[in-house]
Amino acid sequence: MAKTIIFLGPPGAGKGTQAEKLQKNFGFVHISTGDILREAVSKGTELGKIAKRYMEEGKLLPDDLIIGIIEEKLKQLKDKNIILDGFPRTVKQAQALDELLKKLGRKVDAVILFQISDEEVIRRLSGRRIDPKTGKVYHIEFNPPPKNIEVIQRDDDKEEVIKKRLQIYHSQTSPLIEYYKKQNKLIAVDATKPPQEVYNEIISMIQL
């Protein structure tokens, strides 16, 4: 059966960074709802127009809208190994995901919980920079971009929005820790370590 792995943790915990490595080394398909929405915003689609309003304020989009997007993606990727990054973010999304996967004859295999403090998240997000051409993620201090690349800062990586996103993580997303603990699927990793160490910890914990 194709594998489904969820990356759970606050914004800035390093989920995208690790998902890229697993995609490159093991052929996982990296599904980031944040990336899907940012692409829609930059193309100015109907979805993008709606998404922009929520994202600018650091708020979550309505569950049904996001669940619809994931349903489409999952149908297209029937027999692929996938990493879900940034989804689910609410208990309602998690329940919908369980149902969708069941219909497709698959299930959540493991949930990697990225453990990190709010202070560290703020340091990471305020220093995060993106190469708009490739989408590659850098950090001004921890992973500086090459000098010839012009990087940008995400609109929602500004201090007031970061704080709002963290609040929303704690109130709406962290209940998923209990949800997956009850299903015996939760694997916690120390996300404060350097990227290669976090990576080694993840691959030692999941059967690939």
Contact pattern for ligand ADP over residues 114 through 153, marking x by CB under 6 A: ----------x--xx--------xxx--xx----------
Closest residue to bound ligand AMP by CB: 34
Closest CA to 9 of 164, 182, 169: 169
Select from ligand ADP, ligand AMP, none the partner in contact with residue 89, using the beta carbon and a kind-dependent cut-off of 5 to 8 Å.
ligand AMP
Q: What's the DSSP call for residue 149? A: -
Select from ligand ADP, ligand AMP, none the partner in contact with residue 14, using the beta carbon and a kind-dependent cut-off of 5 to 8 Å.
ligand ADP
Task: Closer to ligand ADP by CB, 29 or 137: give it.
Answer: 137
Question: Least distance from C-beta 42 to ligand AMP, angstroms?
Answer: 13
DSSP assignment of 46-69: HHHHHHHHHHHTTPPPPHHHHHHH
Query: According to the binding rule CB under 6 A, does residue 28 interact with ligand ADP?
Result: no
Task: Closer to ligand ADP by CB, 104 or 188: give it.
Answer: 188
Residue bearing tokens 């995901």? 97
Task: Closer to ligand ADP by CB, 105 or 140: give it.
Answer: 140
Beta strand extents in the chain (DSSP E only): 4-8, 29-32, 82-85, 110-115, 128-130, 137-139, 186-190
Question: Least distance from C-beta 133 to ligand AMP, angstroms?
Answer: 18
Query: According to the binding rule CB under 6 A, does residue 16 interact with ligand ADP?
Result: yes
Question: Least distance from C-beta 178 to ligand ADP, angstroms?
Answer: 20
Task: Closer to ligand ADP by CB, 94 or 198: give it.
Answer: 198
The site for ligand AMP (CB under 6 A) is made up of: 11, 33-34, 37, 54-55, 58-61, 66, 86-87, 89, 93, 156, 165
Q: Please list, in sequence order, all residues whose beta carbon lies within 8 angstroms of the beta carbon of residue 97, skipping any fewer than 6 positions away.
A: 67, 70, 84, 87, 88, 108
Question: Least distance from C-beta 59 to ligand AMP, angstroms?
Answer: 6
Distance CA 118, CA 123 (A): 9
Q: Give the H or E element holding residue 208.
A: none
Task: Closer to ligand AMP by CB, 14 or 34: give it.
Answer: 34
Distance from CA of residue 73 to its chain's centroid? 15
Closest CA to 30 of 1, 52, 5, 2: 5
Task: Tell me the C-alpha to C-alpha distance, in Å, between residue 51 and each of 34, 36, 161.
Answer: 10, 10, 15
